Amino acid sequence: MPLPSRSPHSGPRARLLILVGILVVAGVLAFDHLSRMDGRFFGRSLPAARALVHYFVADYRGAARFYRVDLARRTVAVPADEAWSWTTMMSGNLDRATSEANAELRRVPDDPAPLLTRAEIALAAGHPSTAIELAERVLRIQRDDYDALLVLAVARSRQERFDDAVEALKRALRYERTEQRITVFLSVLELTGELERRASASRPACLLAHLHRYLRIYDPSHATAAVRYARRAIAAGDRPDDAYVTLAIVHTKQGYRRAAFEAFRRAVEVNPRNTAALLGSARHHADRGELADEYRLTKLAFDVTPADAFVAATFHDLVMSKLGDYRQARAMAEVAVSTNSSDAEGWWRLAHVMSSMGDHRGALTAYQRAATLKPRVAQLQVNIGHMLVALDRRIEARAAYLRAIALDPVTPEAHYGLGRIHGHEQRWADALREYEVGYALGGRGIEHVVGLCELYWETEQAARADACLVEVLTREPDNLRGQALLEHVRAASPRMSVSR
């Protein structure tokens, strides 16, 4: 009887090919994962490499520890004249960092940066109550400061106040922006590792869902863990409405819009007062052009929490930009400031709608009230300057723009404001200088750039005016000011002694 022939798909060679295939697929998947991770995970030092290894095996606590070692080594290279309390804290010298932060606060008592540094130091020293007190002081100065909210979440978690920690994370995660301090990110990474090391029954599932939702911003692979913990939270009755919102947000980021909308709907069923779910559903309808449903849901969120500045601002923007209902927007803002005269953002919204309605005098008064309550906000001084210009009070406007620059030297709009004042006075060289500074600082609004082009023309720089206008019309081909000026420049430039 003949022996059966060996299959070409069996034997050592076939197993080797299968192994190679598996390795190739794994390599492709690993490369895809790495390519989508934020650069903060990768460093050139040995501690950074060790941190990455710990991170990949989900030892987030160990990863945070080694990333801090890497940070401490890098702070050695910070020049002495650029060092401040936060960089000293990164070096690991907490006592000196505390002294420096206190000195910074003596110079500027309401500066949130040293307060936040002291809050981070309190976390590192194991004093969550102090960290909470300091973070809340920051939030009184800068509402919903992302870093302060994350510090608050970590400190409350250390006190086992998991519901309160979720509330802080919810406030942070509703913004598109993220934290500014890598040290705060590492505190959240460390907390995630600490909570995951707990016994399964004692893990706060909804909190972990939100922590992984935050980490997903920098590494999309955390979406899987966020979904897993959200489903555990729903099954356990651990803030199920907030867990559904986490599911919805992750589904949205992954492009599963129907599943996202269903999760938002379930969240509202569980808790009709969940503003994140209401606003999320409203965004879904907005994407589909369903303005009536967007308005209905956004108004519901506002009716639930009219004192929540984020919700109020969202509803205000909808009423102003999409509905054009200035009367309703003004009435809402007037109710807000009559209910709470210390509501700086209410005054800001009232000023915005008054300005849009052409009531520059009323807008100026409202902006000034807001600035009295928030004296360190540069944008308020810029807006005051704009209203003073509209009222032809240019000397006062110049002072407002200079105050804005003193508060925030890199604010481009204040320089454009000064440039417009110089332009009114036909001081073209001074106007051009301010416009060029505004442009260099990133102010690329199309009307500002057209103004810059016009100043090049006024100062007889036809070649630069031409190049500037080409940029304008590349971005916005139908810009009428740009079209008219370019035609004029190209018609007149042969008569000018300008080399091209």
Query: Tell me, what's the pLDDT at 492?
Result: 84
Q: Are 130 and 94 in contact (CB under 8 A)?
A: no
> pTM for this structure?
0.83
Angle at 418 (CA atoms; ends 465, 364), nearest 5 degrees:
130
Q: Which helix (H) or strand (E) holds 21?
A: helix 12-36
Query: Tell me, what's the pLDDT at 499?
Result: 41
Eight-state DSSP code of residue 2: P
Query: Tell me, what's the pLDDT at 2?
Result: 56
Cβ count near 200 (within 10 Å) = 8
Tell me the backbone φ, ψ of residue 76, rounded to 5 degrees.
-60, -30
Single out the residue of 490, 445, 446 nearest to residue 467, CA to CA.
490
Q: Are 311 and 305 in contact (CB under 8 A)?
A: yes
Rounded Cα distance, 419 and 428, in Å: 9
Rounded Cα distance, 191 and 214, in Å: 12
Q: Are 84 and 104 in contact (CB under 8 A)?
A: yes
DSSP calls for 34-100: HHHS-GGG--SSHHHHHHHHHHHTT-HHHHHHHHHHHHHHHHTTS-GGG--HHHHHHHT-HHHHHHH
Place of tokens 């001081």: 427
Query: Tell me, what's the pLDDT at 15?
Result: 60
Q: Are 303 and 287 in contact (CB under 8 A)?
A: no
Q: CB burial class (10 A; 0-12, 13-18, 19+) of residue 297?
A: buried
| pLDDT tens per residue across all 500 residues of the chain | 555 555 555 566 656 555 555 555 445 445 566 778 999 999 889 999 999 999 999 999 999 999 999 999 988 766 665 678 999 999 999 999 999 999 999 998 889 999 999 999 999 999 999 999 999 999 999 999 999 999 999 999 999 999 999 999 999 999 999 999 999 999 999 999 999 999 888 899 999 999 999 999 999 999 999 999 999 999 999 999 999 999 999 999 999 999 999 999 999 999 999 999 999 999 999 999 999 999 999 999 999 999 899 999 999 999 999 999 999 999 999 999 999 999 999 999 999 999 999 999 999 999 999 999 999 899 999 999 999 999 999 999 999 999 999 999 999 999 999 999 999 999 999 999 999 999 999 999 999 999 999 999 999 999 999 999 999 999 999 999 999 999 999 988 765 444 43
Angle at 13 (CA atoms; ends 9, 16), nearest 5 degrees:
105
Rounded Cα distance, 303 and 315, in Å: 10
